[in-house]
A and B are shown apart, each in its own frame.
Chain A
Amino acid sequence: MMQHLTNPQLIDYIHGALAPEEDASVHAHLESCALCREEYATEVALTELLRKQAALEERDMPSTVKAAIWQQIRDARPSPATRILAWLRPAIAIPVAAAIVLAAYFGLHSQQASAAPTIDAAYLLQDHAAMNSTVPFGDRSGADAAELQSGSSGSADETAVNVQPAIYTADAGR
């Protein structure tokens, strides 16, 4: 008669991990040994419980394991100097330099475009009035007064910025 089954034999039998001949021998023994059948039943129940529990919850990786993994990643990362040297390889450095130059050009260009100069309308109105001086019965007293009131130094550049053309305002009553 076969000796009682060991616990590892029962576990391997449950998981189908035994060789065919041993598997047949264990099966025959369980048919004739009530004690081993009881032990088998206990082991099946325990295995089933563990499977259900594993399905219900994802068990987090132990912190020590995670720490070890991160340490390995850090150990494998290149040093800053190594990375700078890697950027200076021609295959990377040339396109990067070109991109920087283009960005600088277009950035400057757009900045200039956004800061496009303007000419104060008051300056044009004043210049129009001043040019009337040779027209018969025209005079430039209005332009002179506007220039005086503007507080401008009178230079074309400053006039264009500073002129305030409004003069004395009263209801026209018309």
Chain B
Amino acid sequence: MRAANAAGAASLAFAVALMCAGAVGAQGAGADGLLREAIDAPNNVSYVGQVQNTEFGQSKAEATIFRIEHDSPNLTRRWYVAPQALYGDSIISRGDTSYNVDIKRNRVIVTKDDALDDQVAQDDNFNLLANNYRAVQGADETIAGRPAASVLLVNKYTGQTVLRVWIDTQTKLVLQKEQYSSNGSVTRQMRFAQIRYVKDVPDGSFQIPTTGFTRVQGASHGTPSNDVAGAIRTAGFQARGPRYLPEGFTPIAADITTIKGIRTLHLLYSDGIRTISLFENARGAAVDLSKYTVHPATVDKQDAQYVQDGPTMLLAWAESGLHFALVGELSEDELSKIASSVVP
């Protein structure tokens, strides 16, 4: 009897353990699944609302507020309410092409970003996020009057929460998201202040104004290459890459652009959420930091300078005839460590 009881207890314990494991697995899969659904949501739902974006710097915050109209899958109009300098301007996105309507200068700036249509790159980057971050489902909350499930993305190497998203439990649209620095403070926030789902949005909302407006060709971004080594080889100069990157970061894209006639290599590294850009040129073109408060820094025992733009830091230095700029939302120490590892 005692043996039978013991066997029964063991079976019960195993069953409970199995159920718990299953529950954890389901929760993990649930959080990951929510994230995937959230990324696809704009392709499936149409809505109108008002959004506030805030970027937090060391001593100030910068916010933009815009009304948004979205017709799935890929028509979006953002009409700016604040700041004052942007009031009345709008950005109309039609697939991979954006039309920035500048009502003060009566012109429309047309920009194209092929990467927005690069589903393969987007899938790869989601897998990168899944490899480096653990999705943890948090408490449900109400955002803009809608029930929302929150998901925290915890870095697997540092244990720090880097991103938190609030996902509409019905439509799976991201209603709010917050990004955090290594010390836990919020660096960037997006949130819907109002939202109303609609069957569709009238086409007139996405018409590009023509009468009285000058159309200007803006900067276009081709599909960035994921062949970073190839881009370095074709840069036209002895380009360099960092030998040190924080854990989880990997090169995801490279681009060679000509800025003011200067051939510039842009290497992008990411861990799925955070990104680092390394710009370099061999034409003696230093970075003009005159519009910012410049701070001294050191890169590999050489003088360097850095500036802060909201949560983003730009570190600039020159070495062996090359000019470098490292841009990212990491700490100054981390950026300096990466910069010091940029060697031939």
Instruction: Flag whether B86 is at the interface (Cβ < 8 A).
Output: yes
Within A96-144, which residues are at the interface with B (CB < 8 Å)?
113, 116-125, 127-142, 144
Are B64 and A118 neighbours in the complex by a CB distance under 8 Å?
no
**Among A132, A140, A159, A168, contact of B84 (Cβ-Cβ < 8 Å):** A168
Query: Among the listed stretches B7-15, B141-149, B214-222, B228-236, which one makes contact with chain A, having 4 or more residues with CB under 8 Å of it?
Result: B214-222
State how many angstroms separate the Cβ of B292 from the closest Cβ of chain A: 6
State how many angstroms separate the Cβ of A143 from the closest Cβ of chain B: 9
Are B35 and A147 neighbours in the complex by a CB distance under 8 Å?
no
Are B177 and A147 neighbours in the complex by a CB distance under 8 Å?
no
The chain A residue sitting closest to B221, CB to CB, is A130
State how many angstroms separate the Cβ of B340 from the closest Cβ of chain A: 20
User: What per-residue 1/0 map shows which CB atoms of A140-174 lie under 8 Å from chain B?
Assistant: 11101101110111111101110011111111111
Known A136-B272, A161-B260; contact A141-B111, beta-carbon cutoff 8 A: no
Number of interface residues of B (CB under 8 A): 89
Are A147 and B259 neighbours in the complex by a CB distance under 8 Å?
no
State how many angstroms separate the Cβ of A117 from the closest Cβ of chain B: 5
Are B287 and A118 neighbours in the complex by a CB distance under 8 Å?
yes
Cα distance A129–B325 in the bound complex, in angstroms: 14
State how many angstroms separate the Cβ of B271 from the closest Cβ of chain A: 9
**Among A131, A137, A145, A152, contact of B268 (Cβ-Cβ < 8 Å):** A131
Within B254-312, which residues are at the interface with A (CB < 8 Å)?
255, 257-262, 264, 266, 268, 270, 272-273, 275, 277, 279, 281, 283-289, 291-292, 307, 309, 312
Instruction: Flag whether B75 is at the interface (Cβ < 8 A).
Output: no
Query: A119-B287, A132-B275 are known contacts; what are 10 more A-B pairs with Cβ within 8 Å?
Result: A117-B262, A130-B113, A130-B219, A136-B35, A137-B273, A139-B190, A148-B86, A153-B216, A168-B83, A169-B60
